[in-house]
Homo-oligomer: A and B are copies of this chain.
Amino acid sequence: MSIFGVYGAPHAANLVYYGLHTLQHRGQEAAGIAAFDENGKGLRHRGLGLLGEVFNQSILDTLKGSIAMGGVKYANASKGGLDNVPPLFFHHHSGDFAIANDGNLINRAEVVSYLESRGNIFMTDTDSELMADLIKKEETGEDRIFSIVSALQKMEGGFTFLIMTKNRLYACRDRNGIKPLALGKLGDGYVVSSETCAFDLVGATFLRDVEPGEIVTIDHHGIRSMMYDEHPRHLMCGMEYIYFARPDSDIDGCNVHAYRKESGRRLCRECPADADIVVGVPDSSLSAAMGYAEESGLPYEMGLVKSKYVGRTFIEPSQSMRERGVKMKLSAVHSIVDGKRVVLVDDSIVRGTTSLKIINLLREAGAKEVHVRIASPMMTHPCFYGVDTSTKEELLCSHRTLEEARVKIGADSLGYLSPESTVASCPGREALCLACFTGKYPTPIYDHETEINK
């Protein structure tokens, strides 16, 4: 999921559209945009599908005004359907507001229970509805910022929130900074975005990251900051660098493509391979593969091609079609890999099923050897902050040695990047959340204890 907000720019909803377009890789199941027009009237449109399927120009034209925000959402079995598509919109005599969020509360059950005991009932499965209800429960008649502080203090997890009233935008980030959120300047106004790659496209310039534990308030006074936690930590999710973010984003001062290329170089030094060519798994592993190729002196080749038009509308081949040889998405290029010893660079291995398939593709296309190199450590633990690597059992490496994993995916050799290099690939960075690799969760994990103790 990702969120994008604009304050103080004409046709703000149009800019949100272009911003979300850039963030589409973070959520392709659904999209929504809300805005307040000059008269303070709240407007919203959302739908299932890619942004381009949900919006057209005439819909965007109805979302008038100079303040707007939106989100894109990925598929999530337990939070599906239109009701859960951001932003949510709330009516209250004191003023309507909209909320969207990225990430996950880890103490959701606790918060739900707190609210139900006070007579609440829920129309969605979102954390944004919990946020709205908490704000209202905490309202004391003082400034709303204090009820937001109170609400956030009840929440634990990896998340960012955008809260929009008719004349104000609040941007909030969890106290560990697990999820990213960046501030930009756009003419006289401001933008907030899950990733900085959206800034350039809308003509904005990067200002700074929203800090862990911070609430940034944007209104006609400009931007103001309030910390809702005095002891924030910088434990951003390592997978943001490794896999999620776009290569042209900078997070906490480090460019994602540069990070990946450096991780590829370090991977080569830690796990060299005696081979002929380096091939990356498109698209997220290409930067690491280039780094590996540069460091090793081996040629970087386009041995795997990804079909560009695969989308929601694609008809998946039936089982019988697959058995007759019909392939999908990825194909290996025979004339490139035939007879070659291939270093296959991938960003990470979750279940290992895709790795197995890709290695088979390469071998069918004639590859003599396939040496798999992963630009991140062995993934051994589930994530509860938004990565949705469901259960421990499903992870290839939760219960396998390196050698067992190699055998399982059918590689000639297998190497992983060290946790140290995973952090060090980002110059000057001291820590990342590597919970899925190390099991060291930055927060209490509440009801999930059972899962990880299995």
Interface on A for B, CB 8 Å cutoff? Answer: 9, 11, 14-15, 17-18, 21-22, 24-25, 50-53, 55-57, 60, 82-83, 88-93, 112-113, 116, 118-125, 129, 132-133, 135-137, 139, 187, 197, 200-204, 246-248, 250, 255, 257-258, 283, 286-287, 290, 294, 299-302, 305, 307-309, 311, 313-315, 317-318, 321, 324-328, 331-336, 365
Contacts and interface: CB of A to CB of B under 8 A. Distances in A.
Contact of A121 (B22, B91, B299): B91
A305 B247 contact: yes
Nearest to A60: B315
A55 B314 CA distance: 9
Contacts of A53: 313
Contacts of A56: 313, 315
A119 B92 contact: no
Given A52-B314, A132-B121, A324-B203, A331 B300 contact: no
Given A50-B313, A187-B324, A197-B331, 12 more contacts: A25-B308, A52-B314, A56-B313, A57-B315, A88-B123, A91-B123, A92-B121, A93-B113, A119-B133, A121-B135, A255-B333, A286-B302
A309 B21 contact: yes
B90 A123 contact: yes
Contact of A136 (B89, B90, B121, B307): B121
Copies in the complex: 4
Contact of A258 (B121, B136, B336): B336
12 contacts: A11-B321, A21-B309, A24-B309, A82-B82, A90-B122, A92-B122, A120-B136, A200-B332, A200-B334, A202-B327, A203-B326, A248-B302
A291 B135 CA distance: 58
A187 B321 CA distance: 13
Given A24-B308, A91-B121, A314-B52, A326 B202 contact: yes
A327 B136 contact: no
A60 B122 CA distance: 25
B121 A52 contact: no
A15 B325 CA distance: 10
Contacts of A60: 315
A433 to B, nearest CB: 23
A120 B120 CA distance: 8
A333 B326 CA distance: 37
Q: Which 7 pairs, one residue from A and one from B, show the smallest C-beta to C-beta distance?
A: A203-B325, A52-B313, A255-B335, A248-B333, A91-B122, A248-B305, A119-B137
A321 B300 CA distance: 39
A335 B250 contact: yes
A318 B331 CA distance: 38
A91 B301 CA distance: 49
Nearest to A187: B324
Contact of A325 (B21, B113, B202, B325): B202
A56 B314 CA distance: 8
B92 A247 contact: no
Contact of A18 (B14, B300, B317, B334): B317
B201 A331 contact: yes
Nearest to A97: B121
Greatest chain B CB density within 10 A among A88, A286, A321 is at: A321
B119 A93 contact: no
A46 to B, nearest CB: 9
A17 B315 contact: yes
Nearest to A54: B313
Contacts of A11: 321
Nearest to A90: B121
Given A21-B307, A56-B315, A317-B18, A302 B247 contact: yes
Contact of A307 (B9, B22, B113, B332): B22
A135 B331 CA distance: 39
A324 to B, nearest CB: 5
Contact of A294 (B91, B136, B299, B335): B299
